Amino acid sequence: MSAEFFEDPDGTREQILAATYHTLCEHGYADLTISRIGEEFEKSPSLVYHHYESKDELVLECLEFMIDRFEHRTTDDVDQPRERLEEFFGWLLESNIEVERQQFIALLVELRTLASRDESYRRQFLRSDQVLERYLSNLLNSGIERGEFRECETEQVAAYVLTTLTGVMLRRSTHDIDPAWLEDVRAELEAYLEARVYRE
Band of pLDDT at residue 67, cut at 50, 70 and 90: very high
Residues spanned by the domain of 42: 1-73
Report yes or no: 140 and 78 within 8 Å, Cβ to Cβ: no
In percent, the amount of the chain with pLDDT more than 90 equals 58
Within this chain, do residues 56 and 5 fall inside the same structural domain, yes or no? Answer: yes
Within this chain, do residues 103 and 200 fall inside the same structural domain, yes or no? Answer: yes
Within this chain, do residues 63 and 83 fall inside the same structural domain, yes or no? Answer: no
> How many of the other CB atoms lie within 10 Å of CB of 116?
9
How many structural domains compose the chain?
A: 2
Within this chain, do residues 61 and 110 fall inside the same structural domain, yes or no? Answer: no
Within this chain, do residues 56 and 93 fall inside the same structural domain, yes or no? Answer: no
3-class DSSP state of 147: coil
Within this chain, do residues 113 and 192 fall inside the same structural domain, yes or no? Answer: yes
3-class DSSP state of 174: coil
What is the 8-class DSSP label of residue 179?
Answer: -
Residue 20 pLDDT greater than 80, yes or no? yes
Nearest-5° Cα angle at 66, 65 to 71: 100
Band of pLDDT at residue 77, cut at 50, 70 and 90: low
Residue 3 pLDDT greater than 80, yes or no? no
pLDDT, tens digit, for every residue of 129-179?
999 999 999 999 999 999 999 999 999 999 999 999 999 999 988 877 677
Within this chain, do residues 60 and 96 fall inside the same structural domain, yes or no? Answer: no
The segment with the largest mean pLDDT, out of 61-70, 83-92, 153-162, is: 153-162
3-class DSSP state of 198: strand
Within this chain, do residues 84 and 43 fall inside the same structural domain, yes or no? Answer: no
Within this chain, do residues 113 and 57 fall inside the same structural domain, yes or no? Answer: no
Within this chain, do residues 64 and 98 fall inside the same structural domain, yes or no? Answer: no
Residue 1 pLDDT greater than 60, yes or no? no
Within this chain, do residues 62 and 141 fall inside the same structural domain, yes or no? Answer: no
Query: 36-66: b or e for each residue (b if 16 or more CB lie within 10 Å)?
Result: bbbebbeeebeebeeebeebeebbbbbbebb
What is the 8-class DSSP label of residue 3?
Answer: G
Angstrom distance (rounded) from CA 195 to CA 200: 9
Residue 149 forms beta bridges with which residues?
Answer: 198
CATH number at residue 23: 1.10.10
